[in-house]
Amino acid sequence: MGLSAKDALQLRDTLQIAVVKCSERCLYHAAKWAAELLDALPQPSAADFKATQDLPSSYIHPAFTPNHDPAEAALEAKELSRYLLAKSLFDCKEFDRCAAVFLPESSLAEMLGTKVDDATTTGGREKQRPSVVLPSERALPQISQKSLFLALYAKMISGEKRKEEESEMIMGPQDLGTITNKQLAVVSRFLTKWFDQRKSEGGDVAPSQGFLEYLYGMVLVKEKNDRAGLQYLVESVQLFPWNWGAWMEITNLITRVEQLNEVTPKLPQNIMSFIFHAHASINLYQQGGEIASALNDLLVVFPTSSFLLTDKALLYYHSKDLVAAEQEFSQLLGLHPQRIDALDHYSNILYVLNLRPKLAFLAHLCSSIDTFRPESCVVIGNYYSLLSCHDKAVHYFRRALMLDRSCLSAWTLMGHEYVELKNTHAAIESYRRAVDVNRRDYRAWYGLGQTYEVLEMHAYALWYYKKAAGLRPWDGKMWQAVGSCLQKMGRDKDGIKALKRALLADSYYDSSASSFGSTGTIDRMTQMDPEVLLQIGAMYDRMEEEEEAKAYMELCVAQEDGGVTNDQGPGLGDSIGVRADSPGSDDGEGGGERVAAGEGTGVTVATSKARMWLAKYAMRVEDYETANRLATELCQDGVEVEEAKALIREARSRMEQTSMMES
């Protein structure tokens, strides 16, 4: 996806306009995102600047381009001094004063016909004014859209700030998550009236700039009206597609790939829509060549974009290629050493790969840049968790949540730590809060399932495991958990289906993988998890289907050498215990080891158990030579030695008896 010199200059100018417009409205994160993307554009050569002669004059100095609508431009000029005051107050975090510059509390109440319930300070003491219900509503004030957005946005942020102040201690006895933003109703009513007034006036109004639609969409989403909120957010990006905050709100509302496909045709067809689609797909844990190709095309245009490089690393991370993800994050850190965004994901990867020196360096780096960033606290918490200092880890995760209660990583990882501390009640509450923040977080659903399984509440555990598997249908670990839970519930037939799905799912990450045949047998595979094969064989054994049980036990033993040589072919997939995806890395005693493609697992507890089962089966069918050989191998492996020696003695005795009878 290369751009011509003219297109590149137009894109540069458009991003400059986006940075200025977002900054004017105090949308700092959107402005930062656009500025980082602008900085990632390669600097044009002197020859490229000649292309500006063919561009409209509005592209020459975009940062100083006035409002093209005469009515809006007149309003902005008239209220410039008040706007500058309001913006300065917002920058100083005096949100109530900022809102009162254009929308005083008393006037706002009269406009909306609501109560005046104000408190003033007299002599250092609060004096409560009586609540008055006003009989009628006044017309809305004639102020510019820019100033109106700033005032209403400040009022919403003021409500969020007061909500945080009124909230109880994290995970405290009164921390029920029921505190709400009391300013949402005021902002929502004002915007409803404003949009209704615009509709009634028809074509006699100035064109909308897209920012009030963005604000109304956010308010509706916070009020749990997702459908209407999504409609206004889509309208916002159609009017002004360069506000990344609106795209992120849309991303957070999309929970399924089908929903993404429904929304995509309604979006503007430009590079922002292209970036959004790639980012939303990664957030939905999608993998594949199309997403990787889209990111590579975007990186041609923005070679050093920290945002796109982070998405590329997360794509590897969700695809279980942790080594490649670690390398991408390492390169990103080299390009932007002071950037803390998304380093909590990097710390998860370093934790799973057990790279303690790198994680220690990362924790020290984050602490030196900004100790009181949620991402820094998560990184430090992961470091203490790797040192098995779980109490300290919980302390830092709680600190991250004090700074930002919507920090998803902190809620999920704190749940993992409470599992390690055997505090199942706190773990369940942490996972529930994580799900409240983001219902797409399969790690929290999986953690809930695992915690309920520890409590032996298998029906609950199964429901949560299925939720996790629905979010990650191509992750074998999710289906293995479903199968194990069904096995404990005595539902062996369903458990076998789930575990076979786990084997098939792991093949998704293997370029040489195929699938199961229609009869449920394995056609062609490269590497399988011996723990899953052992579980399938054991369930077939309980169902008294010994031939199927024998086939899977033989496949399990064959994984020691990397597969089998018969016509079934070797197994597929490797099993990676990902702590960042679930509490604890391995469920079984020997089935959670990471296996390189094409290599055998060596002797594990799972393969030894399968070998013991095959030895006992051989004794039952009077194949004493096979039983003797398998039991001898068990003695050499040093597993189940006493039982194996007893089998050897019995097998040799039977062989001697058989030999004597034949003679």
**Angle in degrees, CA 158, 159, 162, rounded to 5:** 85
Helices 226-239 and 244-253 pack at an angle, to 10 degrees, of: 150
- The phi, psi pair for 132, rounded to 5°, reads -125, 130
Please work out, in degrees rounded to the nearest 5, the angle formed at the alpha carbon of residue 301 by the alpha carbons of 298 and 302: 85
Q: What is residue 47's predicted lDDT score, i.e. its pLDDT?
A: 64
Best CA proximity match to 399, nearest among 424, 366, 428: 366
Q: Name the residue with tokens 């602490």.
A: 367
Q: How far apart are CA 365 and CA 377, in angstroms?
A: 12
CA 273 to centroid of chain Cα atoms: 20
Length of the chain equals 663
CB 301 within 8 A of CB 270: no
Question: Cα–Cα distance between 391 and 397 in angstroms, integer?
Answer: 10
Q: What is the 3-state secondary structure (H, E, C) of 229-273?
A: HHHHHHHHHHHCCCCHHHHHHHHHHCCCHHHHHHHHHHCCCCHHH
Distance separating the N- and C-terminal Cα atoms of the chain: 83
Comparing CA positions, the residue from 217, 264, 258 lying closest to residue 236 is 217
**DSSP line for 139-152:** PPP---HHHHHHHH
Q: Say if CB 30 and CB 22 are below 8 A apart.
A: yes
Question: Which pLDDT score is estimated for 610?
Answer: 87
pLDDT of residue 507: 64
Q: Any idea which residue has 């199309």 for tokens?
A: 290
Which DSSP category does 178 fall into? -
Outline where 92-169 has alpha helix (H).
95-102, 105-112, 145-166
Residue ranges of the alpha helices (H) in 341-441?
Answer: 343-352, 356-369, 374-386, 390-403, 408-420, 424-437
Question: Which tens digit of pLDDT belongs to each residue from 608-631?
Answer: 888 888 888 888 888 878 888 888
Residue 657: strand, helix, or coil: helix
Rounded mean pLDDT for each run of 10 residues along the chain, 663 residues in total = 80 93 95 96 71 48 62 90 96 95 85 54 41 53 92 95 87 77 92 89 78 96 94 96 96 93 93 95 89 94 95 94 95 94 96 96 96 96 96 96 93 96 94 93 95 94 94 90 92 91 72 34 59 90 88 87 48 34 39 43 82 85 82 77 80 78 67
Pairing of strands 115-116, 119-122: unpaired
| Residue listed under structure tokens 């399932």 | 449
The three-state secondary structure class of 126 is strand
pLDDT at 599: 63
For residue 441, CA distances in Å to 262, 315, 376 come to: 22, 15, 21
Which residues lie below 8 Å from residue 354, measured CB to CB, with a gap of 6+?
386
Scored b (16 or more CB within 10 A) or e, 103-142 reads beeeebbbbbebeeeeeeeeeeeeeeeeeeeeeeeeeeee
CA 498 to chain centre: 24
Quote the pTM value. Answer: 0.83
φ, ψ (nearest 5 deg) of residue 268: -65, 140
The per-residue pLDDT for 1 is 59
pLDDT of res. 48: 60
